[in-house]
Amino acid sequence: MSSRRSLSNLSVWLGTTLVGSLVELSNDRSVFEFDEEYAANSDRPVLSQSFFEADGSLDLEPVEKQMKLSPFFSNLLPEGALRKYVAERAEVKAVRDLPLLRLLGDDLPGAVVVRPEEDGPLIEEMEEAVSTTQPVRDVEPLRFSLAGVQMKLSAAGTPEKGLTIPAEGRGGHWILKLPSAMYPYVPENEHSMMRFAREVGIEVAETGLVPVEEIGRLPRGFLRHGENALWVKRFDRTDEGTRIHMEDFNQVYAQMPDAKYRNYSYGNMAEDLARIAGVEDVREFVRRLVFSAAIGNADMHLKNWTLIYPDGRTPKLSPAYDFVSTIAYLDDFGMALSVSKEKDVRKFDEDLLRRFAARVPVPEKVIFDAALETAEKIVRVWPSLQGDLTMEGKAVGLVSERIRAFPLTGRLLA
Ligand SMILES: Nc1ncnc2c1ncn2[C@@H]1O[C@H](COP(=O)(O)OP(=O)(O)O)[C@@H](O)[C@H]1O
Ligand SMILES: [Mg+2]
Residue of the CA atom closest to atom 13 of ligand 1 = 147
Spacing, Cα 232 to ligand 1 middle (Å): 9
Q: Is the pLDDT of residue 192 over 50?
A: yes
pLDDT at 3 over 50: no
Over residues 119-145, mean pLDDT:
67
Q: Is the pLDDT of residue 139 over 60?
A: no
User: Which of 97, 281, 299, 322 does the annotation list as catalytic?
Assistant: 299
| The ligand 1 atom nearest the CA atom of 232 | 1
138 counts as catalytic: no
Is the predicted pLDDT of residue 326 greater than 70, yes or no? yes
Is pLDDT above 90 for 215? Answer: yes
Confidence band (pLDDT; 50, 70, 90) for 123?
Answer: confident
- pLDDT at residue number 129: 46
Q: Which of 97-111, 134-148, 271-285, 369-383 has the lowest mean pLDDT?
A: 134-148
d(CA 132, CA 112): 25
Return the ligand 1 atom nearest residue 321 CA.
8
Given 59, 92, 119, which residue is the final one in a domain?
119
231 is a domain residue: no
- Which ligand is the nearest neighbour of the Cα of 324? 1
Rounded distance between C-alpha atoms, residue 178 and residue 142, angstroms: 15
Better-scored residue on pLDDT, 37 or 128? 37
Q: Per-residue confidence at 135, pLDDT binned at 50, 70, 90?
A: low
- Which one of the ligands is nearest to 146 CA? 1
User: Residue 148: what pLDDT?
Assistant: 73
pLDDT band at 223 (very low <50, low <70, confident <90, very high): confident
* Residue 128 pLDDT exceeds 50: no
Residue 224's pLDDT band, with cuts at 50, 70 and 90, is: confident
Q: Is residue 334 part of a domain?
A: yes
User: From the CA of 207, how far away is ligand 2's center (Å)?
Assistant: 15
What is the reported pLDDT for 15? 94
Q: How confident is the model at residue 109 (pLDDT cuts 50, 70, 90)?
A: very high
For the chain, give the secondary structure using H, E and C: CHHHCCCCCEEEEECCEEEEEEEECCCCEEEEEECHHHHHCCCCCCCCHHHECCCCCECCCCEEEECCCCHHHHCCCCCHHHHHHHHHHHCCCCCCHHHHHHHHCCCCCCCEEEEEHHHCCCCCCCHHHCCCCCCCCCCCCCCCCCCCCCCEEEEEEECCCEEECCCCCCCCCEEEECCCCCCCCHHHHHHHHHHHHHHCCCCECCEEEEEHHHCECCCCCCCCCCCEEEEEECCCECCCCCECEEEEHHHHCCCCHHHCCCCCCHHHHHHHHHHHCCHHHHHHHHHHHHHHHHHCCCCCCHHHCEEEECCCCCCEECCECCCCCHHHCCCCCEEEEEECCEEEHHHCCHHHHHHHHHCCCCCHHHHHHHHHHHHHHHHHHHHHHHHHCCCCHHHHHHHHHHHHHCHHHHHHHC
Distance, CA 148 to ligand 1 centroid (Å)?
Answer: 7
For ligand 1, the distance from its centroid to the CA atom of residue 147, given in whole angstroms, is 7
Name the residue type at position 263: N
**Distance from residue 322's CA to the centre of ligand 1 (Å):** 7
Nearest CA to ligand 1 atom 8: 321
Q: Whose CA is nearest to atom 23 of ligand 1?
A: 148
- Whether 222 is in a domain gets the answer no
Instruction: Determine, yes or no, domain membership for 178.
Output: no
| Torsion sign across C-alpha atoms 163, 164, 165, 170 | negative
Which atom of ligand 1 lies at the shortest distance from residue 233's CA?
A: 1
Residue 293 is assigned to a structural domain of this protein: yes
* C-alpha to C-alpha distance for 93 and 296, rounded to whole angstroms: 36
At which of 119, 149, 174 does a domain end? 119
pLDDT at residue 8 is higher than 90: no
pLDDT confidence of 140, banded at 50, 70, 90?
A: low
Per-residue pLDDT at 284 exceeds 70: yes
Ligand 1 atom showing the smallest separation from residue 79 Cα: 22
For residue 30, what are the β-bridge partners?
Answer: 24, 65
- Does residue 161 lie in a domain region? no
Ligand 1 atom at minimal distance to the Cα of residue 186: 21
Mean pLDDT of the chain: 93
Per-residue confidence (pLDDT) for residue 75, from 0 to 100: 98
Q: Distance from the CA of 227 to the center of ligand 2, in angstroms?
A: 21
User: Is residue 72 situated within a structural domain?
Assistant: yes
Total structural domains in the chain? 2
With 0-12 / 13-18 / 19 or more C-beta atoms within 10 angstroms meaning exposed / middle / buried, residue 170 is buried
Task: Tell how far the Cα of 379 is from the centroid of ligand 1, in angstroms.
Answer: 27
- Per residue in 75-88, pLDDT tens? 999 998 889 988 99
Q: Going by C-beta distance under 8 Å and a sequence separation of 6 or more, which residues neighbour residue 279?
A: 362, 366
136 pLDDT exceeds 70? Answer: no
Domain range enclosing 388: 245-413
- With bands split at pLDDT 50, 70 and 90, how would you rate the model's confidence at 41? very high
pLDDT of residue 127: 47
The residue whose CB lies within 8 Å of the most ligand 1 atoms, and thus the one to mutate among 108, 144, 175, is 175
Question: Does 144 or 196 have the greater pLDDT score?
Answer: 196
Q: Domain boundary residue among 81, 98, 119?
A: 119
Atom 17 of ligand 1: nearest residue by CA position: 322
For ligand 1, atom 21: residue with the closest CA: 150
Q: Are residues 257 and 113 in the same domain?
A: no
Q: Which of the listed residues 322, 325, 326, 329 should we mutate to test ligand 1's pocket, taking the one with most ligand atoms within 8 A of CB?
A: 322
pLDDT of residue 2: 44
The arithmetic mean of pLDDT across residues 251-274, rounded, is 98
pLDDT (average), residues 298-315 = 98
Burial code (b: 16+ CB inside 10 Å, e: under 16) for 381-403 equals bbeebbeebebeeebbebbeebb
Which pLDDT score, from 0 to 100, does residue 132 have?
A: 56
Whose C-alpha lies nearest to ligand 1, atom 19?
148
Looking from the CA of residue 248, the nearest atom of ligand 1 is 27
Does 104 reside within a domain?
Answer: yes
The ligand 1 site (C-beta within 6 Å) comprises 109, 146-150, 175, 205, 232-236, 248, 303-304, 306, 321-322
CATH number where 302 lies: 1.10.1070.20
- Chain centroid to Cα 401, Å, comes to 28
Q: What residue's CA is closest to ligand 1, atom 6?
A: 234
High-pLDDT (> 70) share of the chain, %: 94
